[in-house]
Structure 1
């Protein structure tokens, strides 16, 4: 019985080792011919003008590609072009109490329109809107929590954009 368990564990171990040779755990599936990317500034065209939103979003998006890919940023004939704008930054009440008609929480939602051009594989190019939100206590003033909330939301939107491009999702 013990020998049988050891053999099963050994087989499972070999299985996982063999999988690691044919699958990249990073999930990146960019064509090896793609070497350069241009990430243009994402201006804030939403009705609410948060002063740092555009710069913070663009910088975080550039950092993601610099840290997790081998792509070199350039604005001279890049293989990939990533551009767009922040289209929405809005608050909606959530968790409304039935006995008082007051919200106990608010929801900050950010939407970003993205145009992605892949010059090496034009069929992979797209134009999409990515959106995410974060809830916060209605007792808090937006001005006091917006930087922290926007950073969290931006990271999740950047995750969505990154996966759509490098994992072809």
Structure 2
């Protein structure tokens, strides 16, 4: 009985050394570091620190959830980001609303472009993808009155999409 438990523990240790997975995260053996340089800001009208806030929140997510060390020196992975778009647009009235003239929505949309590179294995193809997230708010509200809440939610959702693309898909 004791011997069978020992064998089981050994098999589990062997299986877990080639690739570890935490909450659906898949990181190849030997990958321990990542580099997330400051995003480039190409969005007209975006708050002046939004690109830095996006960078720092992605760094924190990679560090906390992928358990990778963030470094500029010889990283295993690199995630480059560009803030591409920041815009508010008017959305139509809600269907079936009798007060349609007063119930229109505004939508804040943020788009980031991400380039992922596996520097540990340059033969492995990386990827480039745009990620879009939006926040709807009443047309009677100003952007300034909802901006903090909107950007917090948008940033969280963008990071989740980027992180899942980078670490939850098969390597």
| TMscore range, shorter length | 0.7 to 0.9
Separation of aligned partners in 1, 2:161 and 2:72: 23
How many residue pairs align between the two structures? Answer: 149
TM, length-normalised to structure 2: 0.78
Separation of aligned partners in 2, 1:153 and 1:100: 26
* Structure 2 counterpart of 1:57: 54
RMSD across aligned positions (CA):
2.3
TM, length-normalised to structure 1: 0.79
Deviation digits for residues 1-25 of structure 1 (CA, Å, limit 9, x no counterpart):
xxxxxxxxxxxxxxxxxxxx99956
Separation of aligned partners in 2, 1:165 and 1:124: 12
The equivalences for 1:84-103 within 5 A come to 84-96=81-93
Separation of aligned partners in 2, 1:28 and 1:91: 34
Distance 1:59 1:50, change over 3 A: same
Query: Which segments of 5 or more consecutive residues in structure 1 lack a partner in the other structure?
Result: 1-20
**Structure 1 SS opposite 2:74:** coil
* Structure 2 counterpart of 1:15: none
* Structure 1 counterpart of 2:40: 43
The answer as to 2:112 corresponding to 1:112 is yes
Contact kept? 1:94, 1:103, Cα under 8 Å: no
* Structure 2 counterpart of 1:32: 29
Query: 1:119 Cα deviation (Å)?
Result: 1.8
Separation of aligned partners in 2, 1:103 and 1:110: 23
Distance 1:103 1:77, change over 3 A: same
The equivalences for 1:14-33 within 5 A come to 24=21, 26-33=23-30
Query: 1:103 Cα deviation (Å)?
Result: 6.0
Distance 1:124 1:168, change over 3 A: farther
Distance 1:161 1:97, change over 3 A: closer
Bigger Cα displacement from structure 2, 115-124 vs 38-47 = 115-124
Bigger Cα displacement from structure 2, 131-140 vs 23-32 = 23-32
Distance 1:137 1:65, change over 3 A: same
* Structure 2 counterpart of 1:79: 76
Query: 1:128 Cα deviation (Å)?
Result: 0.7
